[in-house]
Chains A and B, each alone.
Chain A
C-alpha cells in the first residue's frame, strides 16, 4: 500500500494547478485578448460579444478618467484632440519620427526620445495611453476567469526596435500585468497556424496591420518553429491606405486643409471605403463637413488599386529582403500566411499571389490569429501542461552596433541572429589614467550613426587607471528572449566589473514609471502590501516544489555537503513563508536560487547529454 503524501499545512497541495495566462495582441487599430481553455486557444469577447477592442483611448476630464474602445471610437470626430487613435505608431518614437504629424489632430510635445500628447487630462505619454488599452483587456480577462492572471504574452511587430519594445513592456507594467514574453506578431501567427494545421516546411508570414508591416520566414519542423529571417516596415500599414483615399478625396472635392474634426471625419469615411472595397467593386464616400460643405464621391476598386499601387509595391521590398536574408528562393516557400485585417484588400492578395506564384493562406481569421498564438505561448510559459511539445526559436530583427570614430557604426550583433544571444567586444583606453568610457549603442543596418536608431549611451566608470591602451575592457551585449538589450562590462587585466550607467535615448526613467504607477493606483496602500506578500509566498512555494522535484530526479549530481546546504536553504525558505514577512521571503528565495545555480547547470548538462544520445540512437 503506497503512502498518501500529505503536504505541510499552509503550502500548496496541488502540484499542477492551472495558471491563468493570457495572450494580448496590442494592435494599432484593434486589440484582442485570448486564453487557452480546455486545451484550445480562444479569444475573449466583451459583454456585447465583440472580440475586437478598438485601440482608441479618450480622456474625458481633467482627472484622467478614460473611455476605451467602441465608445471612444464613436466620439473621435467630435472630440479629436482627446481621442487618441493608433497610439502604437507613437510608441518609442520622437516627434521627428512620426509621419504626417500635420494631418493628425493631436497636440504633440517633444520629449527626450518619445513624443507626448497634450490632452484635457494633461500631458500623456504613449506608454500611459497604451496601458489604458491593456488595463481594459486585463479587466475583460479577469471577468472570465477565477483567480489572478499569472502572466501575459504581449505581441509586438517583429520589426519593433528596442525603444518600441521597452515602451510596450513599460505599458504592461503600468497596467499591472506580469509580462511572460514579448512575442513577435508574425511568429505568434505562425504558432497558431502551425499548431492548428500540423504544418511542416518553409512558411512566410505576411503581416499587414493598421500601422506596421512585418514579414517573417520560418522553418517549421517537428515542433520547432525556427525564424530564419524577419524584415518589415514599422511605419507602413492599413492606415496609410486610408490616408491615400483621404488625400484622393481632398483632391477630388477640391478641399485644402481641414479642421481636426473634419479631418478625423473624412479619415473615418476613407477607412470605411477601404473596407467596403474588399467586397464591392465600388463605394460611395459621403461626409458633411463642419462648414456645411458636403463630400459625395464614388471610388471604384480600380481607382483604389491605382492610388495605392505604390504602397502595395512597398510591401514587397521587405519580402524580398527577408527571403534573401534567409537564403530561400520563392519556389521553396510552402505557404504564405496572411495576418492582419488589411490583408483582406484584394490588391494585397493579388500582389502576394503573383509574387509567390501560389495563393496565400487565409484559413485562420487574420484579425485573431496573433492573439491566439500569444495565448498558446502564454499557456506554455505559465507552466501549464502541454499536449504538444513545441519550441520557438526567434531572431533579433535589427543589427546592434556601437559608434566608432568618425560617426560610423560597427555591428556587434548582426540582424537575424537567433535570440537570446550575446557578443563581447574589447575596448581600451585612449588616455593615460582614464577611468571612464562612454559607449553609444545603436540599432540599424546603415554605416552612419545618423542613419541608425540611438538606443542608449553607456558610461562605464571604475576602470583602474593605467597607461593609455593597456586596459582591456570586455563589454558584453546581450539580447534576451524579448529582444531587449542589456550590457555588462569587465576590465580583463584587473578583473574589475565596471559599473554601467544606462541612459536610454528614449522615454521613461524608472522614476517616471514609479510616478505613473502611483498616479494610477486606485488601490489602498494595504492592498498593495497584501498582494506583494501573496505573490512572494506563491513564488516561494513554486520554487520549493521545483527544487524538491529536482532533488528527487537528479540528487545524485550533488555531493553530500551540497545536499545539506540546499536542504538548509529549503528549510529557511519554508520558515520565511510562514513568517508572513515579504522581505524575509524574498531574501530566503534569493539564497535558495543562488545556492542551487550550480545544480541547475549540472542538471541541464545531463539533460542535454541525454537528448544528444537519444538523437544519436534515433539515427541508428
Chain B
C-alpha cells in the first residue's frame, strides 16, 4: 500500500490482477489493513495521523467494495486496461438479450402485482443462476482469452441483470410490508 494512492486495488491487497478472486483472501487482506489504518486506531494521534488514517481507510474501503462485487471488479479490470464499458452511453445490446429482458420484466411485474413472494423469490434464484453464468463467461473473457471487447459487453449485460435484481428485491419488500 502506498500513501500516494497510485497503487491499483489488486496490488493494494497483494492479490493477482485478474477476475477470478479468492474471496477469503480479499476479506483477510482488507481486515488486516483496516486494523492498521482505521481512524479508531489513531484517535489519540496528532491531526496528521488522523487525516492520513481517514484517507487511507477510505481508500481501502473503496478498493474492497470494488473488488468484492464481481461486476465492479470486471469494470475495474477493464478500466485498468483502458477500456470503458460505456454503460451509460452505449445502449445497443443484442436483440435476443433485449427480448429476454422484456420477458423478465413482465414476469416480475406479474408476480409483483399479485404479491406473489414465492414467485418473486423463484425469479430471484433464476436470475442468480443466469448472473453466475455471465460471471463465468467474464472469467473466461478476462483471464483466459484477454478478450476485452467481449468482457465490456458482458459487463453491460450484468448491469442489466443487476437492475432486474434490484427490482425483484424492491418488489419482495413491497409484497412483505
Contacts and interface: CB of A to CB of B under 8 A. Distances in A.
A601 B34 contact: no
B33 to A, nearest CB: 5
B71 interface: no
B62 A421 contact: yes
B7 to A, nearest CB: 10
B31 A481 contact: no
| Interface SS majority for chain B | helix
A479 to B, nearest CB: 9
Contacts of A605: 1-3
A70 to B, nearest CB: 35
Contact of A481 (B2, B39, B64): B39
Given A420-B57, A601-B52, A612-B14, A393 B34 contact: yes
A320 B172 CA distance: 11
Contacts of B81: none
Contact of A224 (B2, B35, B43, B62): B35
Contact of A607 (B4, B36, B61): B36
B158 interface: no
A608 B36 contact: yes
A13 interface: no
Interface string B92-133: 000000000000000000000000000000000000000000
Given A420-B57, A423-B62, A597-B48, A609 B1 contact: yes
A542 B33 contact: no
Size band of the A side of the interface? Answer: 35 or more
A607 B38 CA distance: 12
Contacts of A226: 31
A611 B32 contact: yes
Nearest to A479: B58
Contacts of A593: 46-48
B46 A547 contact: yes
A600 B47 CA distance: 10
A546 B176 contact: no
By size class, the interface of chain B is 35 or more
B38 A391 contact: yes
Contact of A546 (B14, B32, B41, B49): B49
B78 interface: no
Nearest to A223: B35
Nearest to A418: B61
Interface in B26-60: 28-29, 31-41, 43-49, 51-54, 56-58
A611 B35 contact: yes
A135 interface: no
A543 to B, nearest CB: 4
A60 interface: no
A546 B45 contact: yes
Contacts of A596: 46, 48
B1 A317 contact: no
Contact of B3 (A180, A418, A604): A604
B147 interface: no
A421 B58 contact: yes
Contact of B31 (A180, A224, A543, A608): A224
B62 A604 contact: no
A342 to B, nearest CB: 21
A224 to B, nearest CB: 5
Contacts of B149: none
A85 to B, nearest CB: 29
Contacts of A600: 45-46, 48-49, 51-52
A317 B3 contact: no
Given A382-B44, A612-B32, A417 B39 contact: no
B88 to A, nearest CB: 11
Given A600-B48, A600-B49, A615-B28, A608 B43 contact: no
Given A224-B31, A421-B61, A604 B56 contact: yes
A243 B123 CA distance: 40
Interface string B151-177: 000000000000000000100010011
A181 B31 CA distance: 21
B97 to A, nearest CB: 25
Contacts of A380: 40, 43
A302 interface: no
Interface string A589-613: 1101110111111101101110110
Interface of B: 1-4, 14, 28-29, 31-41, 43-49, 51-54, 56-58, 61-62, 64-65, 169, 173, 176-177
30 contacts: A224-B31, A381-B44, A382-B43, A391-B34, A391-B41, A418-B61, A418-B64, A419-B61, A420-B58, A480-B54, A481-B39, A481-B40, A546-B45, A546-B49, A589-B47, A592-B46, A597-B51, A600-B48, A600-B49, A601-B3, A601-B4, A601-B52, A601-B56, A604-B52, A604-B56, A608-B37, A611-B32, A611-B35, A611-B36, A615-B28
Given A419-B61, A607-B37, A611-B35, 9 more contacts: A417-B65, A420-B58, A421-B58, A421-B62, A597-B48, A600-B49, A608-B1, A608-B37, A612-B1
